[in-house]
């Protein structure tokens, strides 16, 4: 009904959402494993985390799309940000990092 271009855009968005959701699975698993969270306490953070992910993903996509259409230079800004984060990810050696020693976790434990 809509043609090849619309189908490609829909499939691109679907695959992006699927990959981002798959990434969240590993993050929740890591957090629950490191802190040995009991099963009866997992439902609420999962529910709130999924709702938050949907809300923020929608907000970032809408704001990003508006910025990209409003200012052509934003293509270069977002592209430079992606290159920067890619280089930082490859350059960092984080194999020995202990998530429980992260400054944010240490701060939360004092509260």
Structural domain span for residue 36: 4-110
**How does pLDDT run across 89-106, given as a tens digit for each residue?**
888 876 667 777 788 888
74 contacts: CB under 8 Å, gap ≥ 6: 67, 68
Average pLDDT of the chain to the nearest whole number? 86
- 59 pLDDT exceeds 90? yes
CA distance 93 to 111: 30
Domain count, the chain: 1
Looking at residue 73, its pLDDT comes to 92
Looking at residue 94, its pLDDT comes to 66
């Amino acid at each position: 009904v809509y043609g090849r271009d619309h189908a490609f855009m829909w499939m691109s968005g679907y695959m992006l959402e699927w990959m981002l959701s798959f990434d969240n699975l590993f993050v929740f698993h890591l957090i629950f494993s490191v802190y040995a969270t009991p099963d009866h306490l997992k439902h609420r953070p999962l529910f709130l985390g999924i709702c938050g992910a949907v809300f923020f993903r929608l907000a970032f996509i809408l704001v990003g799309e508006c910025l990209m259409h409003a200012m052509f230079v934003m293509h270069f800004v977002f592209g430079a940000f992606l290159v920067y984060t890619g280089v930082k990810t490859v350059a960092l050696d984080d194999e020995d990092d202990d998530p429980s020693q992260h400054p944010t976790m240490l701060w939360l434990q004092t509260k």
